[in-house]
Amino acid sequence: MRGCNVPLGSCPELANNQHVYLHHLACATFFAPSDMSSLGGMHHEHIRSMRSWRGGPARYDCVFMEGDSSEEGFKGLLVGRVFMFFHFTHQSQSYECALIQWYSTVGVAPCDQTGLWMVEPNFNREGQPDVEVVHIDCLYRDAHLISVTGDSRLPTKNFSSTDSLDAYSSFHVNKYVDYHAHEIAF
């Protein structure tokens, strides 16, 4: 079962005159007590979902999300890619959500060569991204993915780092990107 999964029948039905507001980023604030590099171990970072980042190509960040709380480390987390942040109000209650493409874990243990977990994006039968709406409280923090290139050559023309999440089929979850990621993605 995916994190924060709610059956469609339990979701509110919006009236035609209600508005849905789109956002380009969310701020994740979390406590990392063993990393005292900031005030009292509190950290914040921006998770972006933008059609154009600083006048250039799109940026759709990846995130860690709540998974199985009975598991430790990466086994208790889910990985997804944020395609949209939005919120709406229904019966005086505000709902802050994200449209996520799910990634599945490759194997049952980290890669023998790198010590990093591997993930791959999920697609439906038609080849479209497997997406779902989740409450923003399910997002934990950003996740840094490293493309697994295998034996193939890297494209050299008209290719930039922003194309990586669309060009490759599997990725290492980088637990070395910062101290907190190393603590949670073991």
- Does 82 fall in a domain? yes
Task: Output the CA–CA distances (angstroms, integers) from residue 130 to 62, 71, 174, in the order listed.
Answer: 14, 24, 22
d(CA 112, CA 152): 20
- Does 26 fall in a domain? yes
CATH value at residue 31 = 2.30.30
- Does 32 fall in a domain? yes
**Residues 60 and 165: beta-carbon distance below 8 Å:** yes
- Does 137 fall in a domain? yes
d(CA 95, CA 136): 9
- Does 139 fall in a domain? yes
**Does 14 score more than 80 pLDDT?**
no
- Does 2 fall in a domain? no
Query: pLDDT tens digits, residue range 61-96?
Result: 999 998 998 999 999 999 999 999 999 988 888 989
Share of the chain above pLDDT 90, in %: 52
- Does 41 fall in a domain? yes
- Does 3 fall in a domain? no
Domain interval for residue 130: 19-184
pTM for the predicted model, two decimal places: 0.84
Q: How many domains does the chain have?
A: 1
Task: Output the CA–CA distances (angstroms, integers) from residue 117 to 69, 112, 128, 186, in the order listed.
Answer: 18, 9, 24, 8
**Does 3 score more than 50 pLDDT?**
no
